Amino acid sequence: MGDEQILPYPYEFYNISDEEKSINEKLHAYPYEFLRVGPKGYLVSKIFKTDAANIYNLPLRSNDIFVTSYQRSGTTWTQELVWLLASDLNYEKALSTPLIERYSFLEMFMNVPDTGIDGFMKALSQNSENFNKEDMLKMIKWLGSPITSDLATRPSPRFIKSHLPMSLLPRNPLDTAKMVYIARDPRDVAVSYYHHTRLFMHTGFKGTFKEFWHLFHGNLMKMTPYFEHVKEAWEKRHDPNMLFLFYEDLSKDLPAAVQRVADFLGKKLDDKQKTTLCDHLSIENFKKNKAVNCDELRVLGMFAKDEEFIRKGKAGGWPDYFDEEMTQEADKWIADNLNDTDLRFPTVK
């Protein structure tokens, strides 16, 4: 794709309604300004518009590996699995180099609010006990810098993470690169995303889980509508450069999932290597692994004390959060959105 011409961005951006804006602002301590993009109306931070065309036109390499998902679907788990298999099980580097350095997060710059660095710093200084202005400024500048120019200088193989749907990624990525997409029951995604939104001090979600659920299933959280996101990847599941995984399958039978990813990447594993890798990836060990828990952000005071980046790693835990009304609402929402596809989420016993 490197020799292809630069194309104009194919999608229109448009504003959310005043009502949607007021609902979102009411529940976030430090809200972002949102836009919708494309015919499916994906919700993105306004700042995404500044680099969307560069992402769309990003030159890819044949040994690039993407790990993509709707967020809180098991992305970090999958990233570590993919990186270790593709890097010949280099545990020493995996444990000593943070995952956010081993992967380029394609739309990471969207996580800095639209008021820019000054507004971000102000929000964090008000909410954080560990605020260090100099260290925080360095981190925020790094977080808020579009990654497309940096990717050009990254050595191969490049590992790229994204929560963008297929249509907003570099064009025709599967013509050139490999991709692992991980999907998860949207009810569990909602629970995990709720805690994630409370985790980051600069978002500071103030509402109840029920209020969060209405934002999520009402397409008022980033990258929603959720089902359109998953279905775009599902439609590509038979492409030889796509591996579509379910979080529930990793949770239920990790060794089998490890083997599927190894086969996809053309890597051979003996039984001992597979056992060691599964032990490394076990939720018990994963929660203690500082390289995958974004500890560098916690040290800087960006995380709330009572929330964790890697939580329970549980599949099917959503009933603990849903009342009867929400359960019925979710059942109908899921049924309506799966009506036109053979996509089905694995059942959890």
Question: In this predicted structure, what is the pLDDT of residue 66?
Answer: 98
**What pLDDT score does 316 carry?**
85
Given pLDDT bands bounded at 50, 70 and 90, which one contains residue 83?
A: very high
Kindly tell me if the per-residue pLDDT of 307 is higher than 90: no
**pLDDT of 149 higher than 90:** no
CA distances from 84 to 156, 261, 288, 313 (A): 15, 11, 17, 19
Flag the least confident range among 72-86, 186-200, 244-258. 186-200
Percent of the chain with pLDDT over 70: 80
Q: What is the pLDDT of residues 91-142, one digit of tens each?
A: 999 999 999 889 999 998 887 665 555 656 665 555 555 555 666 666 666 6
User: What's the whole-model pTM score?
Assistant: 0.89
- Tokens 């594993």 belong to 269
Q: Quick one: pLDDT at residue 274?
A: 97
DSSP 250-310: HHH-HHHHHHHHHHHHT----HHHHHHHHHHHSHHHHHH-TTTTTHHHHHTT-B-TT--SS
Radius of gyration for the alpha carbons in the chain, expressed in angstroms and rounded: 20
What domains appear along the chain, each with residue ranges and CATH number?
Answer: 13-338 (3.40.50.300)
User: Mean pLDDT over all residues of the chain?
Assistant: 86
- Strand order of the β-sheet with 13-15 is 13-15, 34-37, 42-45
Average pLDDT over residues 28-53: 88
- The reported pLDDT for the residue numbered 319 is 94
What's residue 32's pLDDT? 72
The predicted pLDDT at position 92 comes to 96
